[in-house]
A and B are shown apart, each in its own frame.
Chain A
């Protein structure tokens, strides 16, 4: 009982902390030094590199960078801070978390008032659209997008009698159906699984390639009616039925181990996943290459920089955004760290086109990934997008684990989404 009280106490203390002050009440202990600002980022995206570059160019500026944790942990910390705690001056928000914050735009500085409306045109319009409210307030500026590609093991492809050259491999799978045929051939030749899994490597890619996802153009939920969602779901079931995957759920221990051991030959990899492959399977350096994603284009991921309303030093934070997220700034960050720029003007820059990655057989990742985001059709991402997406994904994982019958999967998925949208 005492523990129940403690648990309740912890919960409510958190609620209290987050409800103590109302949003918008500004702290009067503002920093006297207008060159200092606080910056919250998440891990794995290496904002420190950018901060160091900026500090070098502006030695008088002091930036307190905190890597809060994973993307969702950072969003949680930001929520708590916005509701009543000490807010940072600048915060990085992952694309999937952004719609939640877009519902309460009063918590953020409208960047248009600081000059963002003049810079809007620098960015991919469908990326920019996601951080602009219906009445035109700019909540965040995009820092990167997650273009799509398929990475594959050249040594394993060779052993299976498949081509290994990235141009030829890309030509093997203009569509997902062609991709499945390649998978069947691979399994026939080697007796080993071809792809890591279907929920992430097929469904999450295909569903992001449509012209509409879980919401329609009127910003109403349409995941249960949109034929594109159903088609992506059915495609995943079809690939599963063909038995060409290792059924290793992305990010699980088995997935990491299998990747290092070469127990599957292909993984769908948005640009930010290259880093995960490098760190999870360091022993496979040079054995991978990058081909285009079946279907040609698509985006999954990306982040935004925003300034909370109660920030002490919004001006210094804005100066940082303006300089580091300019087309030149994003290009420099890409060359250093690999996150894909959101500014199409640099997509033809010779430095970007010349960028290769030795871990992936010197594939020109700049060109491959920017090509994949050029043909994209914009769609509205709503506040429940993350919830809907994860329930559909989880149901497909259950199918892979043999816990849900494939013919019942779609109905199960819809029930799961409906349950998740309550409360």
Chain B
């Protein structure tokens, strides 16, 4: 006679086997599902990233010879005034475009969210038009607006009795010009993000505030901004990262001087400098070194952002 224990054992055995079998499949399945992404990421993301680090250690002529030079490209870079100029330009253009852009988007979102706004969908959709317009087209039109002798902006200044400003030639002028193009393109996009999260804010809050006698500004200050805090953090992070990699606008806005955005490199950004070195002059090693430097900068800025985000989150009421 079989003991109860044996019965239990024999019955349990296949069951457990099956369970183990299923367990392995269950455990593997998620990895299989995400494998395509990681496979592509390794091929087109991680490997190229590491390879850039590798190329940066060489004097690398794409159609000639490759010489190992160690960290020479980086020590050149540290002493290269063009690199520091590009760094200054990048951060200056970023600040000039991001800050006004996000403030304006906030105000626009608040207005577009207003209860009594007629044809709301029309207005909400039209703020997105600059975003879907080709960057190249926008850039060419703006470059003409800012022209020294024939631009509309200077024509207007002339009417008011002011001297013409040579925007493209000066550091500040060219930065303002490019920042305007970036802000023009992205304000609507950020407005829609803000608007989307504003619509999740209960109307009653505004109604109650209105009943209590809060005016538009007070509603904006005490209801709109606090409820948008997470999305504001998100847009700051994305526009920072995007702002550090501005390329098309400086490439097309000021074609004078080739890939330098002006004769004195007055608006050449880091990515444009990378492109000039890598693909204008074919110094692949030096271009890769600029890429590595840009990577480090973005990591640092992302880390600062992360710290700020956690702090803001913990401060939330």
Residues on A close to B: CB < 8 A? 1-16, 18-19, 23, 72, 76, 79-80, 82-83, 100-101, 103-104, 107, 246, 248-249, 251-254, 257-258, 261, 263, 387, 390, 393-395, 397-398, 401-404, 419-420, 422-423
Contacts and interface: CB of A to CB of B under 8 A. Distances in A.
Interface of B: 44-49, 51-52, 55, 60-64, 73, 76-77, 80-82, 143-144, 147-150, 166, 168-170, 241-242, 245, 255-258, 260, 263-264, 266, 271, 274, 277-284, 286-288, 291-292, 294-295, 298-299, 302
B287 A253 contact: no
B252 to A, nearest CB: 11
B291 A258 contact: no
Contacts of A423: 73, 76-77, 80, 277, 281, 283, 286
A11 B257 contact: no
A262 B23 CA distance: 82
B288 A15 contact: yes
B146 to A, nearest CB: 9
Nearest to B150: A257
A11 B52 contact: yes
Given A8-B291, A13-B48, A253-B147, A3 B242 contact: yes
Contacts of B245: 3-4, 7
Contacts of B81: 419
B55 A403 contact: no
A92 to B, nearest CB: 17
Contacts of B286: 423
Given A4-B298, A401-B263, A83 B63 contact: yes
Contacts of B299: 1, 4
A252 B256 contact: yes
Given A11-B48, A11-B274, A263-B149, 14 more contacts: A1-B298, A4-B294, A4-B299, A12-B52, A83-B63, A100-B282, A253-B144, A257-B149, A261-B150, A387-B281, A401-B264, A403-B263, A403-B264, A423-B76
9 contacts: A1-B298, A3-B298, A4-B298, A11-B288, A15-B51, A76-B280, A79-B63, A253-B150, A261-B150
B48 A397 contact: no
Given A15-B55, A402-B169, A423-B283, A5 B45 contact: yes
Given A3-B241, A5-B45, A12-B48, A19 B263 contact: no
B107 to A, nearest CB: 27
Interface centre among A4, A14, A261, A263 (most CB of B within 10 A): A4
Contacts of A420: 82
A403 B64 contact: no
B255 to A, nearest CB: 7
A28 B298 CA distance: 44
Nearest to B287: A11
A12 B51 contact: yes
Nearest to B302: A1
B63 A23 contact: yes
B12 to A, nearest CB: 49
B270 to A, nearest CB: 10
Contacts of B148: 254
Contacts of B55: 12, 15
**Which 6 residue pairs spanning A and B have beta carbons closest together?**
A12-B48, A397-B263, A423-B286, A401-B169, A394-B263, A4-B298
Q: Specify which of A1, A3, A252, A397 lies most central, judged by the most chain B CB atoms within 10 Å of its CB.
A: A1
